[in-house]
């Protein structure tokens, strides 16, 4: 019977290789950390510690994602570049959805006002009312797109066969 992986190494170090079982354990760890971090941020609210926790959040999640996905990529003989490609695709999807669903027009409408000349309350209410349905539609499209990208990438790595024998990332593993 295979032993349990060192969870800290699994979640924080992208070095080496992991098999399918440890990859799934790492994904569960990523989901748990993501969920607990979200609860922590909500509990801390607007406190100073909450502010710094929000700043650290993307870096912690990226480190864990690079570690778990990266080790699995290493097991199939690939570098970490596909994870970077996934992140770029997600960022591109966010930008495209924002532009398609009126984000540029929304900011353009506000750009004629300044801090010294703020928009009147009725203008703010009208702009928000005009753009809210488009924004909500864009959020749905973006959620489905991001979920699809993450699901496809995660499933690909879960199903991919490991590279036989030793590779530049370490010795062969038995699943």
Specify if 112 maps to a domain.
yes
DSSP state of 73: H
pTM of this structure: 0.84
Tens digits of residue pLDDT in 33-47: 999 988 988 888 888
State which residues form the domain around 147: 8-159
Average pLDDT over residues 126-151: 94
Tens digits of residue pLDDT in 104-131: 888 888 888 888 999 999 988 998 899 9
Domain count within the chain: 1
State the alpha helices, DSSP H only, in 13-120: 20-44, 48-75, 81-100, 103-111
Specify if 142 maps to a domain.
yes
Specify if 171 maps to a domain.
no
């Amino acid at each position: 019977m295979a032993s349990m992986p060192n969870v800290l190494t699994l979640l924080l170090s992208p070095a080496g290789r992991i098999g399918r079982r440890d990859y799934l354990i790492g994904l569960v760890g990523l989901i748990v950390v993501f969920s607990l971090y979200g609860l922590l941020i909500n509990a801390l609210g607007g406190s100073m510690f909450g502010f710094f926790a929000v700043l650290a959040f993307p870096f912690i999640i990226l480190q864990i994602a690079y570690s778990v996905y990266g080790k699995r990529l290493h097991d199939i003989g690939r570098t970490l570049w596909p994870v970077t490609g996934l992140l770029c695709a997600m960022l591109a999807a966010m930008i495209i959805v924002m532009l398609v669903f009126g984000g540029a027009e929304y900011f353009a409408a506000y750009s004629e006002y300044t801090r010294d000349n703020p928009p009147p309350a009725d203008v703010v209410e009208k702009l928000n009312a005009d753009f809210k349905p488009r924004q909500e539609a864009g959020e749905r499209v973006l959620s489905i797109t991001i979920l699809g990208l993450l699901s496809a990438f995660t499933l690909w790595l879960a199903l991919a066969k490991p590279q036989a024998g030793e590779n530049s990332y370490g010795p062969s593993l038995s699943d």
